[in-house]
């Protein structure tokens, strides 16, 4: 299923059940203003829009195609899970515009090209999973020079080359680092 078609389908079928993988209480206080309008009527569209703008989980859905550049316009996006699909192409540079992004999980796809430095611009990024793709070339030094402080960083099983940049030592919060398969 093409990623853009899936997003349109989900928005059109907004009257269906919203399935989430996070606690229903996680955003309850923030959502309270969206659930009812001024006349105490349920505002499903506003709730859905807020859910989509903060948390996208479309893993294991058979998505194909490339990750759209427009994803970088979702300024409230905190967690993006697109792992275990059939996505191709490169990581959009616009990902670096997502200052609230804390988790980016793109593992187990067919993404290729060089890993862009732009995820390093995501100042709240703690978890970056890019393993089991076809990324090549050296790791960008700027990926580690930004203000992101990774807790988990998995770049294993790609076609990366060269030395691991010394800038990674600035990531004092790094608890888990996966770099298996770097030549």
Q: ∠ at Cα 156 (55, 136), nearest 5°?
A: 95
Mean pLDDT value across residues 7-35: 39
Does the pLDDT of residue 7 top 70, yes or no? no
Greatest pairwise CA separation for the chain in angstroms: 62
pLDDT of residue 119: 80
What domains lie within the chain, and their CATH numbers? 55-178 (3.80.10.10)
Q: What is the pLDDT of residues 28-56, one digit of tens each?
A: 334 444 444 444 444 555 555 666 678 88
Q: What is the pLDDT of residues 93-149, one digit of tens each?
A: 999 899 899 999 999 999 999 988 878 778 888 899 999 999 999 887 777 666 567
Q: What is the pLDDT of residues 66-102, one digit of tens each?
A: 999 888 888 889 999 999 999 999 999 999 899 899 9
- How is 25-91 classified by DSSP, letter by letter? TTTHHHHHHHHB-TTS-B-HHHHHHHHHHHEEE-TTS--EEPPPGGGGG-TT--EEE--SSEE-S--
Higher pLDDT, 83 or 180: 83
pTM across the whole model:
0.70
Q: 124 and 77 in contact (C-beta within 8 Å)? A: no
Per-residue burial over 86-121, b = 16 or more CB atoms within 10 Å of its CB, e = otherwise: ebbeebbebbbbbebbbbbbbbbbebeeebbbbbbb
Residue the block writes with tokens 């349109």: 8
């Amino acid at each position: 299923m093409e990623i853009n078609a899936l997003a349109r389908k989900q928005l059109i079928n907004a009257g269906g059940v919203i399935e989430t993988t996070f606690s229903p209480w996680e955003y309850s206080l923030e959502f309270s203003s969206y659930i009812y309008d001024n006349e105490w009527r349920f505002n499903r569209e506003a709730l859905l829009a807020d859910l989509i703008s903060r948390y996208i989980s479309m893993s294991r859905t058979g998505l194909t195609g490339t990750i759209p550049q427009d994803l970088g316009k979702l300024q409230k996006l905190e967690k993006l899970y697109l792992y275990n699909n059939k996505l191709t192409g490169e990581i959009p540079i616009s990902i670096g515009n997502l200052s609230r992004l804390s988790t980016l999980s793109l593992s187990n796809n067919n993404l290729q090209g060089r890993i862009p430095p732009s995820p390093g611009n995501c100042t709240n990024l703690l978890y970056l999973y890019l393993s089991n793709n076809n990324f090549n070339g050296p790791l960008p030094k700027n990926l580690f020079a930004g203000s992101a402080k990774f807790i988990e960083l998995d770049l294993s099983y790609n076609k990366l080359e060269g030395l691991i940049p010394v800038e990674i030592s600035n990531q004092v919060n790094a608890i888990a680092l996966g770099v298996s398969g770097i030549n």
